[in-house]
Amino acid sequence: MHKNDVTIILATSIIPDHPNTDMIDETIRSIRFHFPENEIIMQIDGLRKEQKHRKKDYDEYKSRVLWKCLHEYKNVLPIIFDKHSHQSTMMRETIDLIQTSLILYVEGDAPLVTDEVIDWQKCLDLIEYDKAITIRFHFE
């Protein structure tokens, strides 16, 4: 297996900083640090009922992100969910778009580390040789 065999799934939903895009920008930069060419499928979740008061900010955030997908981000496919769908439903709805054998699931407010080495080949080998079926990275 090779790093090119990985599609990145990037889930994003409302956070207090919206409409600011700094967090998603940082997360995409961190992904591109490790995976410069791989496809990113960005799952943009809808709002929960209790978040409706944030609709204006979230709509502006989504507009900014869509503009960036067209003009700034490279190889990012945005999928917008009109209603709150949660990660599991978004994955179910987008899984058929994945054309690689592996996925890396990243939350929009959880960038990958760029100041430490991640041995991606070791991770890929663990999966390829049935030593692991899932690898989870932690903040600590």
Q: What is the pLDDT of residues 25-44, one digit of tens each?
A: 999 999 999 999 999 999 99
Integer CA distances (angstroms), 103 to 39, 48, 64, 66, 112, in order:
10, 27, 25, 22, 14
Report pLDDT digits (tens) over 76-134.
999 999 999 999 999 999 999 999 999 999 999 999 999 999 999 999 999 999 999 99
Closest CA relative to residue 91, chosen from 4, 3, 8: 8
- Dump the DSSP string for 61-101: HHHHHHHHHHHTSSSEEEEE-SS--HHHHHHHHHGGG--SS
Residue 136: per-residue pLDDT: 94
Helix, strand, coil content of the chain in percent (nearest 5): 45, 15, 40
pTM for the predicted model, two decimal places? 0.94
Confidence label for 140 from pLDDT (cuts 50, 70 and 90): low
End-to-end CA distance of the chain: 27
